[in-house]
Chains A and B, each alone.
Chain A
Amino acid sequence: MIRRASSGAAFLLCLTSLCLTLAGCWNLREPEDMAHVLAVAFDLDEKHDLFKVYAQVANPPALAGEGVSESGSARSASGGKPFWTVSARGHTPLEAMRNLVPLSTKELFWSHASLLVISEKLARKGILPIVDTFERDRQLRMIARPVVCEGDVGSLMEAEFPLEKAGAEGLLHGVTAVARQRSVFPTMFLSEAVATLSEPGIEMVIGRVEVLSGELKTTSSRSGLPKPPVKFSGAAVFRKDRMVGWLNEREVRGWHWLMGRVSGSNLILTVPGAEGSPLTVEVSAASVKVEPLVKGDNVRMKVTVKTEGRIQDVAAPEHLAMEGETIKSLKRRLAQVIRNDMEAAISKAQALRSDIFGFGSSIYRTRYNDWKRLEKRWEEIFTAIPVELNVRADIRRSGLIAEPPSAR
């Protein structure tokens, strides 16, 4: 009996000691004392050679709804916004983040920062310090979406979106929504960008968020319509961890074709027989095969893209006769448009000396010995690499009508 009682006591002791760890022990925190950072941005203070950090912090009372707006002081203090953007400087990214602490009434909690904004200045100087901070920190996560900001980072972090409560939410939704329909913005997780950064023979591309005007309130323009604060399009091209230039919308689309990442895009063709009158073809997926052809020092790339689209609108319906020959011609035109996209992207990348398509990586992965030989001169080789572009584009559907509408 006594043994039973003592083992029971020991058992209870164990259970109790385990319970202590549940509360977080020395790291006990009350949710009321914490403020969640929704988005984090890094900029460079060139004058003092410091990192500048912006944190957009959620303001839960204001996020919750309107009841607070009358009585709650939180809303008025943050200028009526459901979020609060605060910034600080530091010698390292983390020091900058910690320098926010004396400015905040609550403990900043970084685990929910789902957007990482990098200023153009910092991107051009190199983003490795930011990557290091993100990889090391136990709160920051690699599931954040990285973007490069063209324009003032502060106004981007202050931006309010017509359809969203918090600015960061708007940015995050924008980044993911554009990927679904347009393929003009490389949407990815930070983990993907970092994996690319450490892989041989491929350079990083990070999407661009363009700040549309200096004053980013959703004030009415002269027409009385609210202006969109930012635009998600284009991309920053990197060489190693340094940004070297921008891709425009069309070049990013070319990059999407070459990477097999197209997940929705609309392309303008001209109607055969009625030059100058456009029609839209919508593409929802594409596959790509990149084959390196290496003979000694002679390197060529063979790219085969397969896709299919559907006619989604015709601006001059009266001129379009839906018959075998026209469809064939349209397919050829679609293929040409796609080829033009890719050519634009390739020539920009070659001008920037940055192998963003992973041509080198395709050699590294499939012809390791050739890669060992070419690796050192790859940047040079890439700038002049001939790329054979084969596109097989089909047009199989024409929306809900087969014939164009006609007026008598």
Chain B
Amino acid sequence: MSCISTEKIDNRQLLFILFIMRTTVIISTLPVLTAGNAAQDAWASALVSYVGSAILATAIGALGTRFPDLTLIQYGQKLIGRTPAKILSFVYLWAFLWVAAVDLRIYSEVLVTAFFPATPLVFIAGAMAVASAYAAYAGIEAIGRNADFVFPIFFMTILASLLAAIPQMRLTRLQPVLARGLKPVLVGSITPMTITLQVPVITVIAPSVLRPKKVVKTTIWALTGAHLVLTAASLATVGVLGAKPAARSVFPFFRMIRAIRLTEFLERFEALVILPWGLGMFIGLSTSLYCCLKGLSQVFDLSDYRPLVGPMAAICITLSIHAAADIFQLRSFFRPETAGPYAFLLMLAPPAVLWPAYLARRWMRKRPGSRKGGRQR
């Protein structure tokens, strides 16, 4: 293949990418609060969903560490044959595109709802998609460097918004703790777990990472960071707004920051939330687009994915507009009973097919010839 395969990013950059992608989405809608019924126990849902997400991420990524130089599309072909693997790859390619579109839609909804009511959705989505498509065109190395640049700003602004919430937090609003049993907590953790649907990007990026064998570890560190932020954000939001007002918000974290006033001159901190959203959206969208395009080029044995960038961006914009008719559909989609099965199916289908194939092959090879390592290198 062409020069693209020689692109390399550091594991640190991958960690930043994954952290930013995930934090952007879970902070924007705080699904622990708005989906399900965890109310003041949302922070516990955030912790439970961390454990679940880490397990899912391992299931998705672990097979890739056996094939450090190959993407899922490539090692899938070794395991189950060319055509079946290509068909299976479409599950993740769809997931990348779908995640990109829904993220884009949520981001556009924030801006249209809170800032630009008269601006057409397509314009906001378009502006972000064009910028992200350009980054995807430039390649994963460029996205990685962008993540390096964005991460400090992203992290500091989120941290500042959390700190600003402290004076107005009332810890009594977090009580009673876990009084209604574990069911609301567990149900509330499903939707944030579905956002692990972003994690399959590692199956495409892994070969471009300096230490591909450590990709799962990197992913789990990113999840750890993101879920710590999610836990803190749900504590702050409930502490400031109260459980019910927070849960009825479309964008609870944003509403929390709007309700903060430190002094007569220190108020209106929305920028602290909107800036990282925009930056995070850019990183997330460009990564999803890149992975979708890279995967697609491998499925069709193209030497370069770049000619596909424009069309894919257009598809992404269109899909983001048509993903949901209105905010109510978007919100009801993210209910655990709808988002859960859909996302888990997409996420787990490829590993569910490839793992047995891998284990069967290893077992087969051990029995007759007992050649160590074998052809998989």
Contact = CB atoms under 8 A, between A and B. Distances in A.
B259 A141 contact: yes
B259 A25 contact: no
B176 to A, nearest CB: 4
Interface stretch (B47-55, B77-85, B86-94, B239-247): B239-247
A30 B267 CA distance: 23
B165 to A, nearest CB: 11
A365 B118 contact: no
B180 A198 contact: no
Given A191-B240, A194-B242, A365 B259 contact: no
Given A189-B261, A191-B259, A194-B245, A18 B127 contact: yes
A10 B258 CA distance: 36
Interface string B246-264: 0010000001001111000
A380 interface: no
A35 interface: no
Contacts of A21: 116, 124, 127
Contacts of B245: 135, 191, 194-195, 198
B330 interface: no
Interface of A: 7, 10-11, 13-14, 17-18, 20-21, 24-27, 111, 135, 138, 141-143, 189, 191-192, 194-196, 198-199, 361, 364-366, 368-369
Given A14-B131, A25-B116, A138-B114, A365 B172 contact: yes
A17 B130 CA distance: 9
A198 to B, nearest CB: 4
Given A142-B255, A198-B244, 16 more contacts: A7-B137, A10-B137, A17-B126, A17-B130, A26-B120, A111-B268, A138-B113, A138-B117, A142-B258, A142-B259, A143-B258, A189-B259, A195-B173, A195-B242, A198-B242, A199-B243
Contacts of B155: none
A11 B168 CA distance: 43
Given A25-B116, A27-B119, A199-B173, A18 B131 contact: yes
Contacts of B267: 143
5 contacts: A138-B114, A189-B261, A198-B244, A368-B176, A368-B179
Contacts of A192: 168
Contact of A26 (B116, B241, B243): B116
B244 A365 contact: no
B115 A199 contact: no
Interface of B: 113-120, 123-124, 126-127, 130-131, 134, 137-138, 168, 170, 172-173, 175-176, 179-180, 240-245, 248, 255, 258-261, 267-268
Which applies to chain A's interface (DSSP): helix, strand, loop or mixed?
Answer: helix
A206 B17 CA distance: 47
Contacts of B131: 14, 17-18
A10 B136 CA distance: 13
B208 to A, nearest CB: 20
A149 B123 CA distance: 45
5 closest cross-chain pairs (CB), A and B: A195-B242, A368-B179, A365-B175, A198-B244, A191-B259
B240 A14 contact: no
B176 A25 contact: no
Contacts of B261: 143, 189
Contact of B117 (A18, A27, A196): A27
Contacts of B259: 141-143, 189, 191
A135 B252 CA distance: 11
A10 B172 contact: no
Contacts of A17: 126-127, 130-131
A366 B130 contact: no
A41 to B, nearest CB: 20
A194 B255 CA distance: 13
A138 B249 CA distance: 12
A364 B255 CA distance: 26
Contacts of B114: 138
A11 B134 CA distance: 7
B178 to A, nearest CB: 9
Contacts of A199: 173, 242-244
Contacts of B244: 198-199
